[in-house]
Chains A and B, each alone.
Chain A
Amino acid sequence: MPDRSAAAQASRSTDLNNEVVERFPRVLDQVPAVYAFVHRFLLAHGISGSAANDIHLATEEIFTNFVKYNNGGQGDIRVAVRHLPTTVVVTLIDPDTHEFDITVVPPLTPSEHLDQRKVGGLGIHFVRKVMDEVHYRYHERTAEITLCKHLESDRAEHSH
């Protein structure tokens, strides 16, 4: 059965004009630089509004997770953004980390009651909420998280 996911499509794409890659030091001060990098790409491809915000949110959450939970890791974090006909694919790669598959983390149901709330734990929850596909791969200390946003699903969301 062929893999028809957007991530699989992305890995087969050879149009380099539709992909940009950049490396960022693993510090939280780099978050605005990651935003600017993704923003430039989305703008060049005419992607804005809610879809762009969703992509920025998920990208930041993964980048900050890589930074916060792997302080001692070596090497920069790589961010790649690719535009397929109806999908934006963002891939974040940490080249020196432990295995932590975010796709198997139990779903979170945040309580509306403040006395039952604790600070933290929302990042992965947001990623799942705003992205259409999330993929995780781990091999030889390298973690790769791929985020897919289907642009037509965003348009459909706003037509209702």
Chain B
Amino acid sequence: MLNIRIDDHGVVYLQGRFDASQAASAQQAFQPLQGTQVFDCADLEYISSAGIGILLELAIRLRGGGHAIKVVNASPYITKVFEYAGLRQVFHIG
């Protein structure tokens, strides 16, 4: 199960497992997002290529307006998956 929460400052909090079963609902939840987006992944336990694909799709859309995705507080494992996907720099992961 993946929980998505957006706070008053527009920070997107991902909690749980971002797998293929959650991709469609996440895609819908991200649809209204505009501008540079910070994704707090402190409570993201797992992500697969399906989740990465949704984030990448959003990043490509935002880039059209000169904006980006920034991923913060990702665990070492989540960071490793982003790195395998070649997205560490794209998502500004420190």
- Rounded to whole Å, the gap between the CB of A2 and the closest CB of chain B is 33
Instruction: Name the CB-closest residue of B to A129.
Output: B84
B43, CB-defined interface residue at 8 Å? no
Known contacts A32-B21, A64-B20, A123-B49; is A57 also within 8 Å of B81 by CB? yes
B63 and A114 form a contact (CB under 8 A): yes
Which residues on A sit within 8 Å (CB–CB) of B49? Answer: 61, 64, 122-123, 125-126
Interface residues on A, range: 20 to 34
Indicate with 1 or 0, residue by residue over A98-124, a CB within 8 angstroms of chain B CB atoms.
000000000001111111010110110
The docked-state distance in angstroms from the alpha carbon of A61 to that of B23 is 13
**Residues of chain B whose beta carbon lies under 8 Å from any beta carbon of chain A:** 1, 17, 19-21, 23, 46, 48-50, 52-53, 56-57, 59-60, 63, 77, 81, 84-90
7 nearest interchain CB pairs?
Answer: A110-B86, A122-B49, A31-B21, A123-B49, A64-B20, A129-B84, A112-B89
